[in-house]
Amino acid sequence: MKNINRLIRGSQKFQKKAFLQHEHEFKKLVEEGQSPKVLFIGCCDSRVLPNLITNTGPGDLFIIRNIGNFVAPYKPDSDFHSTAAAIEYAVSVLKVKDIIVCGHSHCGAIASLYKPHKLEDEELVHVKTWLALGQPAKELVEEMAEDDISERDKLALTEEISVLFQLENLMTYPAVRKRVESGELFLNGWHYDLERGEIFAYNDEKEEFLPFISG
């Protein structure tokens, strides 16, 4: 109960202070409904806080979080697809203008790709299946990386390349492809550095992740 009590106290503090600072915004969002312009797909990692690292407020981001910030390819069947459903809703109902796939440093999902024995626990059956979405990035890094690459650099490269694979998977969604090709929607690949608090964005022309240019 100790951790829950801490959250309860935090909730009370939010209601008395932070909520009051944004009360007008919350009421407006209730009355008019949400209309975020950005879909943010990030990792479940507790160290990655989308609104905090982008300095955004209520109603600014429609957020999907899952292990590894993965996007499964489009699969029109009757199974349950949480991430896919949220993507469809953001694109076709909310009409977002940008989608960000944000990876991050020290990602446990990416690290686990190189330690498959840790996923053999029968209680991790869904985790193991889900992490298969990161395999293409791992395999590409193993093909292209120099023999003397450090473990940290290998993981960082895999984290970045995985983001690019998720962007490719997004393009398998008919609604996403349609709007990207018409210029109504833009896809963005980001990588967040936990230690420096800095975000790097993928540059198509230079084919690398670069820090934002102030402007």
Tell whether 152 and 182 lie within a shared domain.
Answer: yes
- What's the count of helices (H) and strands (E) in the chain, helices before strands? 10, 6
Helix axes 151-170, 135-144, angle to 10 degrees: 130
Tell whether 74 and 126 lie within a shared domain.
Answer: yes
Is the per-residue pLDDT at 121 higher than 70?
yes
pLDDT score of 215: 55
Tell whether 5 and 56 lie within a shared domain.
Answer: no
Q: Say which range, 58-62, 87-91, 122-126, 156-160, has the weakest mean pLDDT.
A: 122-126
How many percent of the chain have pLDDT more than 70?
A: 99
Contacts of 156 (CB under 8 A, 6+ apart): 105
Is the per-residue pLDDT at 1 higher than 90?
no
Tell whether 98 and 145 lie within a shared domain.
Answer: yes
What range defines the domain where residue 4 resides?
A: 1-33
**Number of structural domains the chain divides into:** 2
Tell whether 202 and 116 lie within a shared domain.
Answer: yes
pLDDT score of 214: 60
pLDDT score of 116: 87
Tell whether 17 and 77 lie within a shared domain.
Answer: no
Tell whether 10 and 44 lie within a shared domain.
Answer: no
Mean pLDDT of 35-62: 97
Tell whether 98 and 204 lie within a shared domain.
Answer: yes
Tell whether 94 and 183 lie within a shared domain.
Answer: yes
Residues 15-54 as b/e (b if ≥16 CB within 10 A, e otherwise) read: eeeeeeeeeeeeeeeeeeeeebebbbbbbebeebebeebb
What pLDDT, in 10s, does the model give residues 145-175? 888 899 999 999 999 999 999 999 999 999 9
166 closest CA partner among 71, 92, 82, 73: 71
Tally of CA atoms within 13 A in the half-sphere of 44 that contains its CB: 9
Reported pTM:
0.95
